Amino acid sequence: MILENTLYSNTSKTFMNPDTNTTNISNLINILEYWYLDGDSSHRVLDGILSPPSVCGSIQLGEDHRLWHKQETNANTDQSYKEYHRIIHYHRQYIINQIGVSNLDQLLRYETWITGKIQGQKLFKYIKTHKLLSDDTVESITSSRNTSELYLCISKNPVDFLFASTNQPFTSCVNLTSNHGAGFYMGIPEQWVDPFKYIVFITPGKLRSYKIKGYEFKHFKYIQRAIAYTDGKRIGLGRAYPQVIIDIPSNAPKTWGIQPTTDSYEDYIVLNLNVPIIYFENGDECIAYNDARRMYEGYSLNHASGSPIDINWSNGFENLDSLDSGEHEYVCDSCGCRLREGEECSVGDYYICEGCYDDNYSRCELCDEIHHRDSTTWIHDQPVCDYCRTEGYTYCVRCGEYEDNDNVTRDHMGRAFCETCRDEDLAYCDCCCEYVERTDTYTIKDETICDNCISHYKNS
């Protein structure tokens, strides 16, 4: 990962290592089929997962497609202090009655929190001595006191989009367990292929675990997050979830180019960008959000287009097992897209979509079976599977081409030559009746004699 500020050495363990990121990406590919994308979209989304597109020139993402910045600790960013402040403020009337207004003001100061002292005493001893808070409340505050370091991240890593709300301290319509009834989580793949979108989040850096369709993911806990939109130079932020806790534009490095925005952030963003669009298998329902203003409008389930989609989206992503009335009976073993009956191509016990077949498979000219191109050799401009090649063809040592076994000649050392290379490079010895290199023969009385036979021939 790339960090703008140097991290303390003892914090690096809280960040995602390359193996964990690789496992996340592999698991994400395994669950891709449950977004029910058509073949073309499935390929484009798969490409977006493996190589997330990025167009903003003001940032340079790391190998994990993230860029980090350590937040300075202050009253606005220190989460443990904010919780402490909230609790003291909640009990303010009782505290005023105990120690007076001026001492309450001292308790609320960030300097008091940072130094841990008030009026020459330890802060929490002072609170306990004056019985300002219960012992359990004091314990809950002290236990969170050492977790105030926060990090700002701008990311194009697809897993960070996947957990924009799922398994977070807050929720939104893209939560995979959402009961909103409109299945907004089905639009998440668009964010992976849209080069104009990033996710910006603030995190303490520690990882959480969550299983989706039986696959375990590791993801960051978000204190605050927002989708970021860029015109390639500047970045504007969408709505902050759960709310604006930290003003990201003023806390982010200036080199990132994050602009101050208001609730009408879409007025700033360059709209109607030429962004790739992905579709459901039926070809009607558009998942893409072409701009910030119509973030989810493209994903409408009002069935105005007569779409065959028929599913209770409010069950959540985990319960999605079919897109419509049993029509999608096959899953492409290569890319994971769903196939209707008649669209599938059978390869042994597997099914392959047309796109993957064109890219990766061929039908053997001899046995008429479908094979992966890694197991296929092109011979005389025709695909031949490994088995048929071994049984019916031989490799010419001179030109490097495969030739039909019936048209191959072997020399005195057992090497195989095609007819063309045989005629050009070999000669038939009339003495030993073997083919040898033409340069190793002599012509005597219209007979061709090889080096090995010449002495015997002269003595005969």
Give pLDDT, residue 77.
67
Average pLDDT, the chain: 76
Give pLDDT, residue 145.
57
Question: What CA–CA distance (Å, rounded) separates 280 from 393?
Answer: 45
- Domain span(s) for CATH 3.30.60 in the chain: 421-459
Of 43, 24, 408, 77, nearest to 252 by C-alpha is 77
Task: State the architecture of 421-459 in CATH terms.
Answer: 2-Layer Sandwich (3.30)
Give pLDDT, residue 371.
86
CATH number for the region 326-395 comes to 2.10.110
The residue assigned the tokens 């096959």 is: 330
CA distances from 288 to 54, 89, 299 (A): 17, 45, 7
User: What is the DSSP pairing of strand 121-122 with strand 197-203?
Assistant: unpaired
Of 191, 358, 408, nearest to 289 by C-alpha is 191
- Domain span(s) for CATH 2.10.110 in the chain: 326-395
Angle at 189 between CA 186 and CA 195, to 5 degrees: 145
Q: Which long-range contacts (CB under 8 A, 24 or more apart) does 88-93 make?
A: 88/132, 88/133, 91/132, 91/133
Instruction: List the chain residues with pLDDT less than 70.
Output: 1-14, 38-39, 77, 79, 140, 142-148, 179-183, 260-315, 319-330, 336-344, 459-460
Bin 249: left if φ > 0, else alpha if -120 < ψ < 50, else beta. Answer: alpha
Q: Where are the alpha helices (DSSP H) in 291-398?
A: 354-360, 386-392
